[in-house]
Amino acid sequence: MPTLESPPAQPQVINPKLIIPFVNSVRQVFTTMVGVTTTVGRPHIKQIPAASYDVSSIIGFSGDLVGSVVVSFQMEAAKKLVEAFAGSVMDPLSPDFCDAIGELSNMISGSAKKDLGVNASITVPSVIIGANHSIARLKDVPCLVVPCSTPMGDFAVEISIKQVNKPA
């Protein structure tokens, strides 16, 4: 079981060049697709899986970038943002609601990946619905939390990726 024998301390550095494209794409996607202005707070390293949310969308990265990017919402914010995005009220238990949340995160990660200019693949989104869940990753990839607020509610983007090869 190799991962349990790896050093317990999480690396506390994350390359800012990896983060800026995500901050830009979050702002752009929510402005153009949802019609809300996003205020981005001070990013911080996630030490423990303490912050918990009701709705999260996970996109995995592989290739030159390894890890995952999660967009997490409280339920009320998710409902309002999805309504503005899709143009109609959606039941949070419906597949369409999950699709809308997944599509927002897909646009954020897809656009950021393009800006980064790396040879990486992203997975289709997995959308988690469940009050107060938390998401943990393997210890060797640091996780940066970017808090975001909008007039419709707050959300967070959790970026837990590392670069395996330099960008072209």
In the complex, the smallest distance separating the C-beta of residue 151 from a copy of itself, rounded to whole angstroms, is 21
Can residue 116 be called a binding residue for a copy of itself (CB under 8 A)?
no
Can residue 134 be called a binding residue for a copy of itself (CB under 8 A)?
yes
Between the alpha carbon of residue 59 and those of residues 1, 9, 26, 48, 90, the distances in Å are 25, 25, 14, 20, 22
Binding characters for a copy of itself, 85-114, by CB under 8 A (x = yes): xx------x-xx-xxx-xx-----------
The amino acid at 76: E
Identify which of 160, 135, 151, 138 has the alpha carbon closest to the alpha carbon of residue 54: 135
Cα 10 from Cα 138, distance rounded (Å): 9
Biggest alpha carbon–alpha carbon distance for the chain: 50
Nearer to a copy of itself by C-beta: 43 or 60?
A: 60
Interacting residue ranges for a copy of itself, rule: CB under 8 A: 1-4, 8, 10, 33, 48-49, 52, 56, 58-63, 66-68, 70, 85-86, 93, 95-96, 98-100, 102-103, 121-139, 141
